[in-house]
Amino acid sequence: MNRSLFMGGIPGTMSRRGFLRACAIATAAMGLPMEMVPKVAEAASDPKRPSVVWLQFQECTGCSESLLRASHPDVATLILDLISLDYHETLSAAAGKQAEENLEKAIERGNYVLVVEGGIPLKDGGVYCKIAGKTAVEILKRAAEKALAIISIGTCASFGGIQAAKPNPTGAVGVSDIIKDKPIINVPGCPPNPENFLSTVLYFLTFKKLPPTDKFGRPLFAYGRKIHDHCERRPHFDEGRYAEQFGDVGHRLGFCLYKVGCKGPETYSNCPVIRFNDVEVWPVSVGNGCYGCTEPNFWDTMTPFHKRLPNVKIPGAGEGIQASAGKIGKAALGVTAAAVAIHAGVGIAKRLATGSKSEE
Amino acid sequence: MAVYEKKYVWSILLRLFHWTFAPSIFTLIVTGLYIHWPWTNTWLEGSHQFTMATMRWIHFIAGMLFTCAVLARLYLWFFGNKYERVWDFLPITGRNIKNLFSTLLYYAYLTDHHEERLGHNALAGTAYFFTILLAIVQFLTGLYLLYPEGSIFTSIGASLFGTQQEARFIHYILNWYFAWFAMVHIYIVVWNDIKHPEGLISSIFDGFKFAKKEQ
Ligand code: HEM
Ligand code: SF4
């Protein structure tokens, strides 16, 4: 993809201005006031800031891929300026034995944030995912020992993800199911929005602690609101205007995707606001319902993806509020007309009977 | 001791109008203010509870009933009984202009003189007249907001009020007129009911007032 199309003037290597801009965007995403921008910038450029060790287990690299698509800040500058990445299997120049040594050195140095991508299989001694002869569990436990904090990026590292879907043949679990004695934060999504990951890192660098989370360990600033409650198609939902199937008139008119399976009513994330890839899109904006990918076990609970969620009340007695109010209005108008007709009829009948005009 | 007799004043249709109009105004003010300032957001929104949608739904239904009530009252202005017609209470006749000023003085506690009449006094009648006119503006702006695209209400609304936002502003300002009217109306009715044995409040339930019997 020719990314320069979408770069909007953001330089490949980061200028001071671009750097501040990135900090400002992350600060806004965290829901912090703009007065915090200098603090965030200071923390991000502090020479003593922690480095990052990035482990990959049962995963598709989609989370890293999505990070590579982030251009605020662009990944190069993210690595060089914002976080110093000591170890990342896909991105590091080193390979094989050399890469393993880098990891070991980084762990020994300490003072790092551990980022985990992918689920960890536990069944049969964890044999289903091995790197350099060591199982994923072993590597994770070793790297977690000296980590300041752990960020689980993506739904796999957070909750087990697709390999944990029934019947979970490898016994895959998320990081927080294994590591209990470290601060852990989950940034789920398939993939998660890079903006939310970067903001979480910057929050940690700035405040030396992880941001407040919900009961699933997700940062509230990013996962605190239901998609459905700030979706741009919501007015269509309330008015009972739906795409009944893909490609129909309603779909082409941009109506609500609930009936073609949108899981927005049960999914918490800021996708409608932050959007993706700097081209301001997210699934619903391009005509596909939300799959609920930030929720635990969404492969089990949110499938079939294109069937509507049960038990969601459509407002206005199931017809949409404007349509049903219009119906009631017409009925009320009919009743009024009848009442007026009766009134007039009685008046005329009285006049005929008594021959007088008085109605007292 | 004065002797009173029962007089039939308010027809069934007028009482129906009143008891549709009054509760719908109350409902419209409550739900309208919620639409204006959705103070429970976001802790009440969710897939099982659509507070804003519900408030708007109730507002629209109450708005339809309100509109029908106003239409019925308009009919009664011209085809109602003697007390219900406009010329009985508008200050357009000598009798009513005199009554308008005497009622003002009477309400200001400046005189104890009080003209006995069964229908509305001219002050109340004038207020009701303008309230119905404003109610027409309110339902026209409301229907303009409800059907913003390609309906008869769009053309009427656009030619009378301008843009949607202008109509919305008028609709919102009138909200406060109706709130004010409801308060003053109830106060004055209770005040009159206490000062006079004509049975003003019960008349809107059963249609009868009590007048001193001429002996
Ligand atoms: C006494 C009568 C009424 C009162 C006090 C009232 C009050 C209000 C208020 C305060 C608002 C919010 C305006 C804002 O956003 O600032 C509103 C909105 C609205 N009202 Fe009314 N209203 C009345 C009658 C009606 C009627 C008769 C209709 C038509 C059926 C109607 C339809 C609407 C609509 C469509 C909206 C906009 C809702 C939206 O933005 O989603 N209203 N009303
Ligand atoms: S169901 Fe989906 S498309 Fe429809 S309003 Fe909710 S989140 Fe948006």
Report the CATH number at residue A288. Answer: 4.10.480.10
Whether residue B11 and residue A343 make contact (CB cut-off 8 A), yes or no, is: yes
A332 found inside a domain: yes
pLDDT of residue A80: 56
Instruction: Let me know whether A89 and A197 are in one domain.
Output: yes
pLDDT of residue A333: 94
Counted across chains A and B, CB pairs separated by less than 8 A come out at: 82
Instruction: Let me know whether A143 and A99 are in one domain.
Output: yes
Which of B30, B31, B171, B185 is the best mutation target for the ligand 1 pocket, counting ligand atoms within 8 Å of the beta carbon and taking the most? B171
pLDDT of residue B139: 97
A315 found inside a domain: no
Instruction: List CB contacts (< 8 A) between B34 and chain A.
Output: none
Instruction: Let me know whether A161 and A240 are in one domain.
Output: no
Which has more pLDDT, B63 or A50? B63
What is the domain range of residue A260? 227-309
A254 found inside a domain: yes
Instruction: Let me know whether A293 and A175 are in one domain.
Output: no
Instruction: Let me know whether A298 and A334 are in one domain.
Output: no
Answer yes or no: is pLDDT of A288 > 50: yes
Q: Cα separation of A226 and A187, whole Å?
A: 16
Which of A227, A231, A268 is the best mutation target for the ligand 2 pocket, counting ligand atoms within 8 Å of the beta carbon and taking the most? A231
Answer yes or no: is pLDDT of B129 > 60: yes
A 221-260 residues with CB below 8 A of B?
Answer: 225-226, 228-229, 238
Instruction: Let me know whether A189 and A71 are in one domain.
Output: yes
Rounded to a whole number of angstroms, the distance between the first and last alpha carbons of chain B is 11
Beta bridge partners of B204: none
Beta bridge partners of B50: none
Beta strand A120-121 with A112-117: parallel, antiparallel or unpaired?
unpaired
Which has more pLDDT, A57 or A74? A57
Query: What tens digit of pLDDT does each residue of B155-190 get?
Result: 999 999 999 999 999 999 999 999 999 999 999 999
What domains, with CATH codes, occur in chain B?
4-37+50-212 (1.20.950.20)
Give the count of domains, chain A: 3
Atom from ligand 2 closest to the CA of residue A290: 2
A51 found inside a domain: yes
pLDDT of residue A2: 35
Interface predicted TM-score (ipTM): 0.83
pLDDT classification of A81: cutoffs 50, 70, 90: low
Which of A222, A248, A267 is the endpoint of a domain?
Answer: A222
A358 found inside a domain: no
pLDDT classification of A6: cutoffs 50, 70, 90: very low
Instruction: Let me know whether A214 and A232 are in one domain.
Output: no
Query: What tens digit of pLDDT does each residue of A116-130 get?
Result: 999 999 999 999 999
Answer yes or no: is pLDDT of A326 > 50: yes
In the three-class reduction of DSSP (H, G, I as helix; E, B as strand; rest coil), residue A151 is classed as strand
Average pLDDT, chain A: 86
Answer yes or no: is pLDDT of B71 > 70: yes
Q: Cα separation of B55 and A316, whole Å?
A: 10
Which of A158, A187, A222 is the endpoint of a domain?
Answer: A222
Quick one: DSSP state of residue A266?
A: G
Instruction: Let me know whether A253 and A297 are in one domain.
Output: yes
Query: What tens digit of pLDDT does each residue of A175-196 get?
Result: 999 999 999 999 999 999 888 8
Tell me the nearest-neighbour CA distance from B178 into chain A, angstroms: 21
Which of A192, A222, A252 is the endpoint of a domain?
Answer: A222
Instruction: Let me know whether A19 and A112 are in one domain.
Output: yes
A359 found inside a domain: no
Task: For residue B196, give the amino acid letter.
Answer: H
Share of chain B above pLDDT 90, in %: 59
Tell me, yes or no, if A359 comes closer than 8 A to chain B by beta carbon: yes
| A230, A241, A322, A340, best to mutate vs chain B, most B CBs in 10 Å | A340
Q: Cα separation of B67 and B186, whole Å?
A: 21
Whether residue A325 and residue B72 make contact (CB cut-off 8 A), yes or no, is: no
Residue A292 near residue A266 (C-beta atoms within 8 A): yes
Q: What Cα–Cα distance (Å) separates residue B147 from each residue in A64, A323, B143, B157? A: 48, 11, 6, 10
> By CA distance, what is A359's nearest residue in B?
B81
Q: Cα separation of A149 and B174, whole Å?
A: 57
